[in-house]
């Protein structure tokens, strides 16, 4: 059994057992429980009724959070030489063609997101063993293989993020920082819920949402009432 610190156990006692919190109440509680000396990330963990070992129950999508993530994202772009200036003008932090592929092959990984144009993906394929385990391999499903570099780079800089279920059928998604207002966190959370529903896999059967929790980096998990989150979209 995992042991927690005295600080964590004190916070945990403030989360009522067997209660499903209304989203806004949970967000205020999460912010009030924060007692560390850095700005924590707000995370949502969603258990879905999916078995990712089946191809038609995979869930991988992107979503544009209206209030952003609060994180500075370093973006690298690999493209042909004639599009490098376009990538730079959009705000890419690192750009290159075959030269950047060689640097990554040698171990350069000082970026959070890698975007590529389709015409260079054949050359990038050899980086699969390096990029795959880090979740950095460009993919059309992730929105990171594109000819529209300006739009794509700007969207990821503004807060667009990718999410996908893990082997247990759970989503782990950051949706802001604890220095956001509860209203801004709420807006991001609703947008995520809508995206997860919109992208429900065709092979999903039975109950789709099993449970949903929000938590901060160093805080306890707070269970939410998913029905109240959905109902708020109708208001």
**What pLDDT score does 233 carry?**
60
- Window from 2-6, 26-30, 161-165, 190-194 with minimum mean pLDDT: 2-6
Same domain, 164 and 61: yes
Question: What does each C-alpha distance from 193 to 23, 85, 187 come to in angstroms?
Answer: 12, 37, 10
Domain assignment present for 7: no
Phi and psi torsions of 46, nearest 5°? -120, 120
The whole domain housing 135 covers 75-157
Domain with residue 95: its CATH number is 3.40.50.790
Tally of domains within the chain: 2
Domain stops at, among 157, 176, 200: 157
Q: Nearest to residue 144, comparing CAs of 174, 164, 166, 129? A: 164
Domain with residue 186: its CATH number is 3.30.190.20
Average pLDDT over the chain reads: 91
Q: What is the DSSP letter of 115?
A: E
Asked if residues 49 and 64 have their Cβ atoms less than 8 Å apart, the reply is no
Mean pLDDT of 169-196: 95
205-212: which pairs have CB atoms within 8 A and are 24 or more residues apart?
205/49, 206/49, 207/49, 208/48, 208/49, 208/50, 209/46, 209/47, 209/48, 209/49, 210/47, 210/48, 210/49, 211/46, 211/47, 212/44, 212/45, 212/46, 212/47
């Amino acid at each position: 059994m995992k042991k927690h610190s005295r600080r964590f156990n004190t916070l945990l006692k403030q989360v009522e057992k067997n209660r499903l919190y209304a989203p806004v109440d949970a967000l205020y509680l999460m912010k009030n429980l924060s007692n560390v000396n850095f700005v924590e990330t707000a995370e949502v963990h969603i258990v879905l009724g999916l078995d990712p070992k089946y191809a038609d129950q995979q869930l991988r999508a992107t979503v544009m959070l209206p209030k952003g993530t609060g994180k500075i994202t370093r973006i690298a772009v690999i493209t042909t030489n004639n599009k490098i200036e376009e990538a730079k003008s959009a705000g890419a932090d690192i750009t290159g063609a075959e030269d950047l592929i060689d640097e990554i092959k040698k171990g350069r990984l000082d970026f959070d997101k890698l975007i590529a144009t389709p015409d260079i993906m054949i050359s990038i394929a050899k980086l699969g063993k390096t990029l795959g385990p880090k979740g950095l391999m460009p993919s059309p499903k992730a929105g990171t293989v594109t000819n529209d570099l300006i739009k794509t780079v700007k969207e990821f800089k503004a807060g667009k993020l990718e999410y996908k279920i893990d082997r247990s059928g759970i989503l782990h998604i950051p949706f802001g920082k604890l220095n956001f207002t509860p209203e801004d966190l709420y807006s991001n959370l609703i947008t995520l819920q809508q995206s997860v529903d919109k992208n429900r896999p065709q092979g999903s059967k039975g109950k789709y949402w099993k449970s949903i929790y929000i938590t901060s980096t160093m805080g306890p998990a707070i269970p939410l009432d998913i029905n109240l989150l959905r109902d708020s979209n109708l208001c």
